[in-house]
Amino acid sequence: MTARRLPAMLLGLFAALPAAAVDRITGRDFATRSEVIAANGMAATSHPLATQVALDILKAGGSAVDAAIAANAAIGLMEPTGNGIGGDLFAIVWDPKTQTLHGYNGSGRSPRALSLQWFRDNGHSEVPSHGPLPVTVPGTVDGWFALHERFGKLPMRHLLAPTIRYARDGHPVHETIAYYWARSVPLLSKWPGFSEQFTLDGRAPRKGELWRNPNLADTLKAIAEGGRAAFYEGEIARSIDAYFLEHGGFLRYEDMAAHRGEWVEPVSTNYRGVDVWELPPNGQGIAALQILNILEGFDFSRIAFGSVEHVHLFVEAKKLAFADRARWYADPDFFPAADGDRAAAQDLVRRLLGKEYATERRRLIDPARAAKAVDAGAVLNQGDTIYLTTADADGMMVSLIQSNYRGMGSGMAPPGLGFIFQDRGEQFVLKEGHPNSCAPGKRPFHTIIPAFITRDGKPWVSFGLMGGAMQPQGHAQIVMNLVDFGMNLQEAGDAPRIHHDGSTDPAGQVTAMADGGVLNLESGFPAETVRELVKRGHRVEAAVGPFGGYQAIARDHEHGVYIGASESRKDGQAAGY
């Protein structure tokens, strides 16, 4: 139909539309959908079926922690490309009874029989990325029980029942998961137990195919009935010991039995009136806080989203924070004091997050030129994952992140157990004296970080995203999108992202940033911004992401409702009731 044949009423309507009209009613053309709003509870995960599992738990009277555990178990089955009970877990919980945040560090330690000297004696200059050598104790199951003991309502057998059922009966594989699964199979099939338990006749399941994992169902059933001891001290642990002994690994029954995660105090910084919370090292969460502290000194009320000033200042702040990340972040039981002096570790974090220190670091930024190399600050005298968040009718909110590290992990899958071990030990540095050097019983530098924002002492946003070194960069961008650029919760995740690499390598070692690193921009940034960034000395390349996989829940105290968001880079869902 030509324009002249359109009814006069429609022609009048089109003529009345403003010239700058966009598809989204909020005016943000990158937003994929509206926020989700509900009064009684909310869940946002990277898999719709896991979101529904969480909602079912909430409707049955479970707490937000119960819902998070149930959802995490489900995603471990449904999205093994990013997580599972062979990995680690971190969480931040808002407790409405005490009106406080609680942090949990569920990272596992390296085998006690594996030393830096062993790697040297056997010709390794770095920890291998896959196989038995990068395996550390998996902390997820212990994390479930620690969280459940303090904040759970329903019995663990109730929380694991949906996943056990899906594992036996099957569930359809989603598109993004099928894609990454297919990429992992050629790499991991050489490791014992992987092909037998994670392929269909040697290939990955395709989109829409039903996937069953009866071995995982048996393992979860044993955990549901026997508690954490069934995993860390029973026959499962003995099977793990025998498997690694047979295949040249170092993880032993004693390592499993000795594992305990720990409750930690979250740390924060105030950014333009809101308090942003992360967990302290051995994770990288405080890098996000350092980035924000540096950027707080610039007036972003006068800087537009996507402008060259926005991107340039963000990348330069990131470079400075990541130089400190490479130099100072490590297991507090080993660094900065060799005797595990936690007071020294806490003092280090306070120094790194000090506003005066941020002012000092900010002076190193040239507003017109990209830095080619930066050093860590003198604060002492001497990155694949899933994220989910849940909230309940009582006001409890949970920010939980869990990972096997590199995609599906190490490839090591003990027969009959239905899960793959993480390869988090790859993050260790094989260098004497480095804060993150390999040592027996040590927790490696960790990339997975949950986040939380409070405002006026009240819970506001529980959020996180996936993606190795992208995570603190993404956390800082989410906060800026909400606070500086006035985006809503959904828009803050959908907005095109900035990703810079080159300040540190994946193990957290300082690198010679001779060319200033590489700046990746997702589609959506203006061409003029890209041109100007190149003029300022940035090496700009197209994004090869996706960079992240954001989920978030916000509390609207005025109306007494929750707001949920799940971005388009994953196949996730935010839903409430």
Q: pLDDT by residue (tens digit) across 248-304?
A: 999 999 999 999 999 999 999 999 999 999 999 999 999 999 999 999 999 999 999
Number of domain units in the chain: 1
In this prediction, residue 549 carries a pLDDT of 86
In this prediction, residue 533 carries a pLDDT of 97
Query: 310 in a domain, yes or no?
Result: yes
Which segments within 434-474 are labelled E, that is strand?
A: 451-455, 458-464
In this prediction, residue 97 carries a pLDDT of 97
Domain with 361 in it: 33-110+137-171+265-403+445-577
Query: 218 in a domain, yes or no?
Result: no
Q: How far from 18 is each of 10, 191, 259, 287, CA to CA, in Å?
A: 15, 60, 62, 42
Residue with tokens 């924060």: 268
Which candidate in 51, 81, 140, 385 is catalytic?
385
Q: Is 385 a catalytic residue?
A: yes
Query: 163 in a domain, yes or no?
Result: yes
User: Domain with 359 in it: what CATH number?
Assistant: 3.60.20.40
Query: 347 in a domain, yes or no?
Result: yes
Say if CB 132 and CB 461 are below 8 A apart. no
Query: 282 in a domain, yes or no?
Result: yes
Residues 58 and 65: their CA atoms lie apart, in Å, by: 10
Residues 54 and 386: their CA atoms lie apart, in Å, by: 15
Mean pLDDT by 10 residues, the chain (577 residues): 39 38 71 94 97 98 98 97 95 98 97 96 95 98 98 98 98 95 96 97 97 98 98 98 98 98 97 97 95 98 97 97 90 81 88 95 95 70 74 98 91 97 94 92 93 98 90 96 97 95 57 72 94 96 80 97 93 95
Query: 141 in a domain, yes or no?
Result: yes
Classify residue 16 by burial, with Cβ atoms within 10 Å: 0-12, 13-18, 19+: exposed
Residues 553 and 44: their CA atoms lie apart, in Å, by: 7
Query: 3 in a domain, yes or no?
Result: no
Query: 87 in a domain, yes or no?
Result: yes
